[in-house]
Copies of this chain bind each other. A is one copy, B any other.
């Protein structure tokens, strides 16, 4: 299955050794973004992947492209526009100190100023089986919104699978109210086949209601199925985090028209607190692309999400072998 993602490439600048910004003059540079993360992970699983985005036509854009190729992603659908890449600084947390992300200008980035006319969707889709669209596109700019809509509609019309990730962050949408954002999400969902999201996306953003006449353990499942029927979705998936004392656990759920499956929780041990969601999504897409049983997919994807937290940076670089290792030999902590 040839998988393409439409989304922004960002620079991540990270101080070494858990230092805070004012403590260092050295930063680690990575190129990241939901699309980059998911595709790179799928490429490490052996899938053919390609990123659809725009970058500046300068040395920084070239360096970003080189990095994307290194991650295993094809770069021939990466065009040029503008002269800016959105960036963020990640001060890595430790113990009770949270990881602190500080964003720099994203709206004026090469991606942010590119609209549907900036891309050759027909040609791209002709080489694609599944297209992943990140919900950030709906928040970023008028240009990215219009591009996302046009791409989703065209892909749907061409009979390609459309995977959409809610990725709704109120902080990115202070300009527009929730009702504006609701409209945007409702506009894209009819074209989608697989959706990643959370209960809160359905209730707080879309305004759906839990059926409180059901026993509480069934309410979320019913809500998801109602949502999926609405938009004729194949898959709805996402992750849950649970605390127990000092410990944190990750579980993934995966829903198709008939079933709701959930993985056994796995303890989260963080090297980097960013990236589990994209790792989980990559796992689900791998299972989907190879038609695994739901339970196999959800267990693999959850293990992968947990592994993503043990890798520095947002990009989950796990291989199938690594995921299988922690599923099958969790106590073997040294391989030689």
Which residues does A use to contact B, with CB under 8 Å? 13, 16-30, 58-60, 62-63, 66-67, 69-72, 83-85, 87-89, 91, 93-105, 107-109, 169, 171, 243, 246, 266-267, 269-271, 273-274, 306-307, 309-313, 317, 319, 322, 325-326, 330-336
Contact = CB atoms under 8 A, between A and B. Distances in A.
A258 to B, nearest CB: 32
12 contacts: A22-B62, A22-B66, A23-B312, A87-B104, A95-B310, A97-B311, A98-B334, A99-B334, A105-B108, A169-B336, A243-B331, A246-B267
Contacts of A70: 22, 66-67, 69-70
Q: 3 smallest A-B Cβ distances: which pairs?
A: A95-B269, A70-B70, A101-B336
A89 B59 contact: yes
B334 A101 contact: yes
Contacts of A94: 269, 271, 310-311
A16 B88 CA distance: 21
Given A23-B25, A27-B27, A88-B336, 18 more contacts: A13-B27, A13-B29, A16-B17, A17-B17, A18-B271, A59-B102, A60-B89, A67-B70, A69-B72, A84-B104, A85-B104, A96-B267, A96-B330, A98-B325, A99-B334, A108-B108, A243-B331, A273-B333
A98 B105 CA distance: 29
A228 to B, nearest CB: 29
B108 A269 contact: no
B307 A97 contact: yes
B98 A317 contact: no
A194 to B, nearest CB: 25
Contacts of A333: 93, 98-99, 270, 273
A326 B96 contact: yes
A109 B84 CA distance: 12
B97 A336 contact: no
A334 B274 CA distance: 8
